[in-house]
Structure 1
Amino acid sequence: MTRDEVLAAIAANKTLDGLSLAGLDLSGADLTGGRFWGVDLSGADLSGANILKTGFRDCRLAGVRLAGTDLTKLDLREVDLTGADLRGATIFMTNFSGANLTEAKLSGTALRWSVMQRAKLTRADCREATVEKLLLQDADLTGADFSKASISRMVVLKADLTSTDFTGASFFKSVLRQCDLREKSLRGQRWHTVLADECDLRDADFSGADITMSNFLKARADRANFTGAVAQHALFKETSLQKAVFAGADCRQAFFGQADLTGADFTGASLGAASFAGALCRGTRFGGADLGYADFSQANLTFANFAGARLYMAKLHGVLTDNTYWEDARDTRLRGHDKDLEEAETWTPPA
């Protein structure tokens, strides 16, 4: 079928059903209102074509060229877009649910307010893409490349991201819930206000990263490297941080309540007004750290090292301090055990 025949069929309001249009040049064509049912468009050139309000049900678009094409509000559910060229396409409120985007070319493309749940993005090239409000629930991101991408309000749930490349990418107000990011290098990146609860972050590298106001609730981050990171107001409640390194990090007003900080290193860190309430700090190093107004209520500080730490107005109510090292610690106006608070905590109503 030729280009002219396709356009004539669309003009006549005919459904194009079960045809092979592989390799056909439809670039710049007006395909508005066209209905392509079960059509093979592999390798076809649709770059710059008008395909708004065009239907592609059960079509094969592997290797199709959609560069510069407006895909606003287009329904591409379950469509095979393997190796498709989408560079420069307008992707806004586009539905790619269940689509196959393996090795798709999306570098430099803006992906806004779109859905890719259950989509397959294996080895997809999303370098330097602009991502805003993109839903990737249950998507396969194996080997996908998001290096230097600008990512905001992206949602990824329960994904294996160990082979996904985020080198130089920035994250803002995004959700990476229950994802596997083991050994991932996020060094120096902007990870601002990211929800990473229950993620596996063991051996991940956040050194020099900005993780301000990010949420790591119940995450596993043993041996993770946060050296020099900015973690102001970050939440590490019930997080496993065994042997994690926060040396020189800015963790002012961060929350480490009930976290496992066994063997962690906070040497020289800024921890003003940080909370370690109920945390396990066995063998944790706080040497030279600024702990002004920090709260260690009910924390286990067994074998912890506070050598040279600044503890101005720090709260040590109900702490366990067996073999804790305090040499040269500055404890001006240190707030120790509070008997009145203990009485309130242990009070039981009369029978």
Structure 2
Amino acid sequence: MPEPIEDVTYHDEDWYAEDLADRHFVGCTFHRVDLTEATSRGASFSACTFGDVRFNVSRHTDSAFTRCTFIRCNLFEAEFTGCKFVGSTFDRCDLRPLTVTGGDWSFVTLSGADLRGTRFTGVRMRETDLAGANLTGATVSGSDLSGVHWRAARLSGADLRGSDLTGLDPAVVQRAGTIVDVVQAMALAQALGFDVRG
């Protein structure tokens, strides 16, 4: 792996379609950097800050964005496969329509985020903060959602089948039309105090 790039600030740079494979950034700041259609495989960003960065239509595989902060970034049609975002925070970002497959998004802050129509499949999202997030029509399937902070989240029409909903209190979310499987339905009914019998 190349030597890490540490504590560098990048301003107003055009990295359109840049190949970021195996690059390693630590504590760097990216401000108004254009990463439209950029790709990464095995790249690592640790404790970096991204402000007004365009990730539009970018593709990332087996890369890590750990303990990073994303402020007013645009992730239109971005795709992340097998990536780690542990401990990262998204603040006023455009996240639609984001596609995430596999990887670890545990302890990520997405409170109040507009996640309508996004797709998270097979993702580890333990203790992620989704309080007040809008997941209307989103797909969050086959994922570990244990310990997620759900208060005031909007789940209308969201497909949660196959995900671990441990800790989801149906009374604190908007849930009309939320799609769940039979096992999940039983657990949610018990969470509401029902005595489920065969």
CA distance in 2, matches of 1:18, 1:165: 39
Q: CA deviation at 1:89?
A: 0.8
Partner of 2:127: 133
Instruction: Return structure 1 stretches of 4+ with deviation > 6 angstroms.
Output: none
Residues 1:164 and 2:152 aligned together: no
> Structure 2 CA distance, aligned partners of 1:212 and 1:143?
22
Code of the residue aligned with 1:112 in structure 2: it is: S
What's 2:42 paired with? 48
**C-alpha separation between the residues in 1 aligned to 2:132 and 2:177?**
21
Aligned partner of 2:68 in structure 1 is 74
Contact conserved, 1:156 with 1:177, CA < 8 A, in 2?
Answer: no
Tell me which of 28, 50, 58 is aligned to 2:52: 58
Q: Which residue of 2 aligns with 1:119?
A: 113
Amino acid at match of 1:52: S
Is the 1:52–1:71 Cα contact (8 Å) retained in structure 2? Answer: yes
Report the counterpart of residue 85 of structure 1 in structure 2: 79
Correspondent of 1:17 among 11, 34, 38: 11
TM superposition score normalised by structure 1: 0.50
Structure 1, unaligned runs of 5 or more: 1-6, 191-205, 217-233, 237-245, 251-268, 270-351
**What's the counterpart of residue 151 of structure 1?**
145
Task: State which of 151, 160, 182 in structure 1 corresponds to 2:176.
Answer: 182
Deviation at 1:147, TM superposition (A): 2.1
Q: CA–CA distance in 2 between the matches of 1:150 and 1:28?
A: 28
Counterpart for residue 187 of structure 2: 210
Q: What is the match of residue 296 of structure 1?
A: none
Greater RCO (CA < 8 Å, at least 6 residues apart): 2
What is the RMSD of the two structures over their aligned residues, measured on CA atoms?
A: 2.5
Query: Cα deviation per residue 1:203-223 (whole Å; 9 max; x = unaligned)?
Result: xxx3xx234751x3xxxxxxx
| C-alpha distance after superposition, 1:174-203 (max 9, x if no partner) | 34553222243434123xxxxxxxxxxxxx
CA offset at residue 95 of structure 1?
0.8
* Unaligned residue ranges in structure 2 (runs of 5+): none
- Percent of pairs with identical residues: 19
Q: Distance in 1 between matches of 2:36 and 2:112?
A: 22
Tell me the alpha carbon deviations over residues 85-113 of structure 1, each in whole angstroms, 9 at most, x when there is no partner: 22211121111232222122212232211
Tell me the number of residue pairs that the alignment of Structure 1 and Structure 2 aligns.
195
Letter in structure 2 aligned against 1:89: C
TM-score of the aligned structures, taking structure 2 as reference length:
0.84
